[in-house]
A and B are shown apart, each in its own frame.
Chain A
Amino acid sequence: MFVVASVLPGSVGRAILGPFALQESVDQINKELGVNGSLYSQYFRWISHAIRGDFGDSYKFQGPVTDYLASAFWSSTKLAVLTLIIVVPIGILGGAIAALRKDQASDRIITVTGLSLAVTPEFAIGIVLILFFAVKLRWVPAGGSADGSIIDQFKVLILPAVTLSATLFGYIARMTRAGTIEALASDYTRTAELKGLSRSRVLGVHVLRNALLPTIAVLASQMSYLLGGLLVTETMFNYKGLGLLIANAANDRDIPMLMAAVFVVGTFAMIMTLIADVITAWLNPRIRFGSHV
């Protein structure tokens, strides 16, 4: 990542001072920032500070990177959490209903709707929501930052969260449906039914518990996307999250900011994958650590 950031076109000094700055001023600021040194020395300086939690100062804002990163991370987290609160229960419920009513009208409706939403670009869904709920009805703002009271924050967050939920619904419902169908056809489900367990107990304990394993893997992979990959949604709703921060840092050649943000998103992705593995192991004794079949 450091190498990629370093070969981005343009000079850091000119990105800071602007196109019409005199070349002497650009050279001077490049020297002050140490960006004229070798790639190796720049990387060594960066990594030696980063491992101590010091990501340095933003070239653009001339303040600690962590201040801006923390704010963007918190904004992205709020959006991700609300999105998950909306999409996880609806997606799982939709997938489960589709599986239980396989090949019936409701299955077709849920499957086609999910697939349609999954292939519809975020900006198309978002703009329809904005035009209807923000411009026409004026119930909620068209975008902005989630600050102020809980209600104010909810009003700002709801449209981007619904946009993202619509996109993710198809994936989650499909995975849940496939997992549920497989679980319904499994020997352990048949055994549970033959043992005379109630329908709800069979579904809750035996079917869904196993059916959700692939869904959890999908959710874990989507978490890093929800945190740092929402450039289109954040741009459309002018929501200052990590996605915009990363894109702007790349545009501004703000390498300390870019490195730190990518580092945070990467670390978060690893943690989410680990958590998903732990949950999967907890749900499925066959792959639990140290267990033997």
Chain B
Amino acid sequence: MGKINFRRIDAIRQTQGQIGNHVIDEFVSGRLSRRDFIRRGTIVGLSFPAIGALIAACGGSETSTTAETTGAAPVAGGTLIIASGTPSAASANLDPVAINDGNGIVFLAQYGQWLTLSQSDLTLAGSLATEWMPNDDASEWTFKLNPAAKYNDGSPVVAADVVATIERLVNPDNASNSLSAFQTGKLSPGGTIAVDDNTVMFKLDAPMGNFPYIVSSDNYNAIILPASVTDTTKFATSNIPTSGPFMIESYDAVKGATMVRNPNYWGAAPMLDKVEVQFIDDLGAKVTAFQSGDIDVIAQFPVIGGESLINNPDVNLIEIPSTAHYQIHMRTSKGAFADKRARQAMSMAIDHQSMVDGLLQGKAQVANDTPFFTMFPSSGSGPAREFNLEKAKALMAEAAPDGFDVTLYSWQTQEIPDLAVLVQNAGKELGINVKIELRDDYYDSYWVSWDANTPGSDLGITDYGHRGVPDVFLNAPLLSVDKGGVWNAAEFANADYDAAVATYTSAVDLQSQQAAALKIQEILQDESPLMIPYNFNFMSAAQKNISGVTNSGMGQVYAENASKS
């Protein structure tokens, strides 16, 4: 770091609250790296110009990363054709309250906008909100809306719209897909308040240091709609005003949709005339449609089956490190893995690096059986999960010298079948006979034991999508059920863990988060309710004549700045 300009820093400090100033102090003192400062700064509401000015004041220069296609010189007009899968039943009518899969998210990114935007480098950028700031303990967050923001019918986006939208999403009666995210965010019904037309305050049930992510594009259901909207169930055909760069022109729930440029868009006008989404479920059909030039962009594809797109010089590969991952749960409360040593043994028998290199062809990062991925600054330097077959066998000799039989349940998607076989092989080394059952009703019956009629499973694989912060991963799948662990397939109940997560959630500075994170990682590796071998990259493909398409790890494909040549 070069010479520090304290006068310039002080000028910015005067515009910030206690938490913002704490982040600035940590950076100036060298306790935060530049990367962590950018990310932490965006969370507590430091604007990008302010962050840039602070970095400059400390003798550096600002850079930013986005995953974007680069191609030939942009040309105005044209239609961008995106291939995506058919939306799930919940997403079939594009109801923003109900959308629950990547195929629906592709649409939200075209016509919807959130208060904040979670970017591919995990920083937050303003979208409908220009600035946000917590109170001193992060139990209240205030967001300022962009006064220029308006819907496609020309009406302005105001605070009452934010209140109505968020209240609809936090209402348990609405079967909102984002209910668990808001529970993680400590926001309850009645907690969203319009201070004035352009100011919204969120009063949380408890301090939450990462709250701006809860109203960001990570929580994709939270696109802001006018307060006058009361029914979103037929969204695709109901002409509900939205504020994004495109608007729905036609929609066929079986074939796809066409979206046209929003004539009243308040940002820079998109270069494209239209965005067309074609529903193609079969990966092979997507690839051949891409190779024949029928489509311009494949919204997402997995490594297995997508080999012809990877390392292909004729393809604009968009690859974003994401925190999407598979959780392999081992039930802690009863059954084959009730003994902690058996869980530890199984975890140590899995070679994470081999999985990344072999199964994912390097398109992933090694994880350590906790949701603290290396991408998260709050992960700190947590303990690595050791691959140690000898130690694993010794633990198994103590826990179950004769081995045991167990059934691994999951469902057929992406590389789960291959992952299941690798787990099976690891089990064989320890005398654990793993039988694999991939079932369509995994989530109904064999994931979480919802009631007496749903058995859950001793061993299962569940897929989780990307999040910009680990909070959701720490809460619903791992907290004790009475503390909010609604997706706790491992039936893990640990008071120390619950307390550590509460500490982490309420922490507002990186050092406190990292301290809590270390404790959480130690508990999880010791108790071993989950195996998380890796988090994988989000991959899209675009034709070489396409430029300006940006993606997020969550699945948004942004065409606002896209063009065809």
Contacts and interface: CB of A to CB of B under 8 A. Distances in A.
A167 B280 CA distance: 24
A10 B93 contact: no
B288 A61 contact: no
B281 A235 contact: yes
A138 B293 contact: yes
A60 B282 CA distance: 19
Interface stretch (A113-121, A129-137, A266-274): A129-137
Contacts of B175: 17, 21-22, 25, 28-29
B98 A142 contact: no
Interface string B432-476: 000000011111110100110000000000000000000000000
Residue with the greatest number of chain A CB neighbours at <10 A, chosen from B89, B254, B294, B487 = B89
B254 to A, nearest CB: 5
Given A238-B285, A240-B255, A254 B487 contact: no
A23 B488 CA distance: 13
A142 B293 CA distance: 9
Interface residues of A, number: 47
Contact of B177 (A20, A63, A130, A240): A20
Interface string B292-312: 111000000000000000000
B89 A16 contact: yes
* Chain B, interface residues (CB within 8 Å), range: 35 or more
A248 B85 CA distance: 12
Contacts of B254: 68, 71-72, 240, 245
A14 B293 contact: no
Nearest to B86: A248
Contacts of A21: 90, 100, 175, 177
Contact of A18 (B177, B255, B441, B486): B177
Given A130-B292, A142-B291, A61 B253 contact: yes
Contacts of B86: 248
B179 interface: yes
B285 A62 contact: no
A144 B278 contact: yes
A50 interface: no
A215 to B, nearest CB: 33
Interface string A140-170: 0111110000000000000000000000000
B180 interface: yes
A19 interface: yes
B498 interface: no
A153 to B, nearest CB: 14
Contacts of B291: 135, 142
A86 interface: no
A90 interface: no
15 contacts: A10-B441, A17-B90, A18-B90, A18-B101, A19-B442, A19-B443, A19-B447, A20-B100, A20-B487, A23-B450, A71-B254, A127-B288, A138-B293, A143-B285, A144-B294
Interface of B: 86, 88-90, 92-93, 98, 100-101, 172, 175, 177, 179-180, 233-234, 253-255, 278-282, 284-285, 288-289, 291-294, 439-445, 447, 450-451, 486-487
